[in-house]
Amino acid sequence: MIDPKLPALRVAADGSAMRERLAAALSAGAVVTDLAPTRVACRVLKHTIGKRCVIAYDLYDGAREIRVVAKLYRGDRGKAVFERLTDLWRRTRGGDSLPSLGMPEPIAYLAELGMVLQSEAPGTPLDRLERSGPWVQAVHATADNLARLHAVSGALAETRPLAATLRRLCRPAPPELAAACPELAPAIARVSARLASAVTGPEALVHGDLGLGQVFFAGERATFVDFDGSCL
């Protein structure tokens, strides 16, 4: 695969080229010991051209099969993402008697590739859960994990004003919508102002881009992925 803005993708999408790199990263991260994979299969899960690429790797070592997920970033953005993920992981492990925050474990940052390596999220993403599936349990688990996320204090995260959040998540953003539909501009301004005034209370850590595809459900637990946009 070729992406001019992700030059490392050519190597990252080659299982043979990644075999020794992944084995070293997993061993250094104490995920497994004595790992000597004879084969590595890789599958691109998502590729946003020019920005990032998500790849699943299956490492085969005799009777063992280990799956990890990697995210490839432009430049050195992956370094900052890995630092935030590692900080969040450490803050939410063993702090109380309740289950920890559901998130993949950050394993390693491969600087030469700009790649963040993580454990696989268990379960099924909610955007693939069947209509007859356990939605009540999944929603309860998601709410529980959200509460755990919002309770995290001191995490490495930028503070993002509500106006910036609206511009980032609304499609089109309020200013663009007002420009395209001038007759709605006063109403858009009123709604935006009311939303801004409704934001009171202490700051809390939020995911920043949580959709059905970012929530995995297994058993009675939810796991969130894609914390790239987490903020206060």
Query: Does a structural domain hold residue 182?
Result: yes
CB 227 within 8 A of CB 84: yes
Mean pLDDT value across residues 190-207: 83
CATH number at residue 115: 3.30.200
- 1 occurs within a structural domain: no
Mean pLDDT calculated for residue range 35-56: 94
pLDDT digits (tens, 9 = 90+) for 79-102: 999 999 999 999 998 665 556 999
Asked if 31 and 22 count as a contact pair (C-beta separation under 8 A), the reply is no
Is the pLDDT at 203 greater than 60? The verdict is yes
Pick from 140, 106, 104: nearest CA to 123: 104
Please indicate, yes or no, if residue 53 is contained in any of the structural domains: yes
- For residue 221, what are the β-bridge partners? 218
- Contact, 230 vs 88, CB < 8 A? yes
d(CA 83, CA 79): 6
Task: Measure the CA dihedral 78/40/223/136, to 10°.
Answer: 140
Are 188 and 142 contained in the same domain? yes
Residue 169 falls inside a structural domain: yes
Q: pLDDT tens, 76-85?
A: 999 999 999 9
Does one domain contain both 18 and 75? yes
d(CA 31, CA 135): 32
- Asked whether residue 95 falls in the same domain as residue 145, the answer is no
